[in-house]
Amino acid sequence: MMFQQSSRSLLDASKKSSSFRWTSSVGRTFSSRSPQDWVTTEETDDPSIAILKMNRAPANTLSLEMCTEISKAIKELESNKKTQAVILTSSLPTIFSAGLDLTELHNPDKDRLPAFWGAFQQLYFDLYGSRLATIGAINGHAPAAGCMLALSCDYRIMSKGNIGLNESKLGICAPPWLGQQFIDTIGLRKAELALNMGTLFDTKAALDIGLIDEIVGEDDVMDVAKTRASQWVAIPAPARVACKELTRGRQLNELKENRKQDVDHFCSFVNQEAMQRNLGFYFEQLAKRKK
Ligand SMILES: CCCCCCCCCCCC/C=C/CC(=O)SCCNC(=O)CCNC(=O)[C@H](O)C(C)(C)COP(=O)(O)OP(=O)(O)OC[C@H]1O[C@@H](n2cnc3c(N)ncnc32)[C@H](O)[C@@H]1OP(=O)(O)O
């Protein structure tokens, strides 16, 4: 039931996601650590507030397994009735999340690609629709799907780095549901300009445009995040969950109803030759930039 304060998320879509097949890792991961270590949860001194940390060096990119691990961690936190808020953050020094793992998109494995997109959709359902109050403690760069993670939180504080939807720079466009989330947050005209130009905003510009709620000092991120979490938890949970349903329910339901179409659309888009060429160039640029 959507409005009940329960261990279920607003839209418990995971139960209905059997339309895509999970495939095993094909060894395209960056980190030598296993996927179970890429996401950790921690308690705080307040039993109602937990911390979810992304630890997938070097950039917390979202591969199929990374999406699944974050979703799993959210579900586990939600299953504890005492937990009412989660702080989402990164353990990397300068990157919150660099977005989708582009190795999933470049020369993709044809069976894995739909499963990957399904896992990304699922992560959106689980985070955007969580019954928990979600505080994004953005302590580094958050481009593209990294920005989606931030946008899916109820409140966003940011200490450093750039944030935004830069997909157009890769020769692609954000999926409609992520684009809509962006429009809903900063308004149509600002989103139109930013989406077309692929703008990444520094913290000050992000605050000015309404993409984040607060700028905080690097050393204060966790303290401020806990304070904001306490304020959200102080609101009666049924009211909090109902407000979330009011503001996010329509969008979540829309994707839920079009899930299969969205996967098909994504796969045919990514498999286009021009798209693959663009991604290839983009990878080269990333590597050159480093040199
Ligand atoms: C009707 C509508 C029609 C539209 C239809 C739409 C249908 C769907 C279309 C498809 C939608 C696809 C959606 C995509 C969303 C995404 O998330 S795309 C990913 C975008 N991400 C980026 O562009 C970020 C790229 N990375 C960076 O800019 C930088 O890494 C950084 C600023 C985040 C950090 O810089 P720095 O600290 O200098 O680290 P680096 O040395 O650059 O990076 C370390 C390491 O990580 C690798 N890496 C970084 N990001 C990615 C990534 N996203 N994927 C894979 N790999 C990444 C980088 O290459 C380095 O690797 P090495 O150490 O060199 O091996």
Residue 261 lies in a domain: yes
- pLDDT surpasses 60 at 217: yes
172-to-123, 182, 283 alpha-carbon distances in Å: 21, 16, 14
**Is residue 26 over pLDDT 50?**
no
The complex scores an ipTM of 0.96
- Asked, for residue 190, whether it belongs to a domain, the answer is yes
Burial 39-72 (b: 16+ CB within 10 A, else e): beeeebeeebbbbbbbebbebbbbbbbbbbbbbe
> Which residues surround ligand 1 with Cβ inside 6 Å?
58-59, 61, 94-95, 98-103, 141, 143-145, 166-167, 170, 172-176, 265-266, 269, 286-287, 290
How far is Cα 148 from Cα 34, in angstroms, rounded to an integer? Answer: 24
Q: Examine residue 1 and state whether it is found in any structural domain, yes or no.
A: no
For residue 194, pLDDT over 90 is answered with yes
Residue 86 near residue 255, CB atoms below 8 Å: no
Whether the Cβ atoms of residue 50 and residue 85 lie closer than 8 Å to each other:
yes
Would you place residue 181 in the very low, low, confident or very high pLDDT band (cuts 50, 70, 90)? Answer: very high
Residue 82 counted as domain residue: yes
Distance 169 CA to ligand 1 centre (A): 11
Within-domain flag for 2: no
Is residue 47 included in any domain, yes or no?
yes
Least confident of 117-126, 215-224, 249-258, 270-279: 270-279
102 located within any domain: yes
Domain that holds residue 257: 7-290
Dig out the tokens for 168 from the structure: 């157009």
> Which residue lies with its CA nearest to atom 64 of ligand 1?
287
Distance in angstroms (rounded) separating the CA atoms of residues 236 and 213 = 22
Q: Is residue 129 part of a domain?
A: yes
258 contact partners, CB below 8 Å, separation of at least 6? none
User: Residue 243 has what pLDDT?
Assistant: 98
Domain of residue 81, CATH code: 3.90.226.10
Cα-based distances in Å from 7 to 1, 96, 143, 240: 11, 27, 30, 14
For atom 41 of ligand 1, the residue with the nearest CA is 290
Q: What total number of domains does the chain contain?
A: 1
> Which residue has the least CA distance to atom 62 on ligand 1?
287
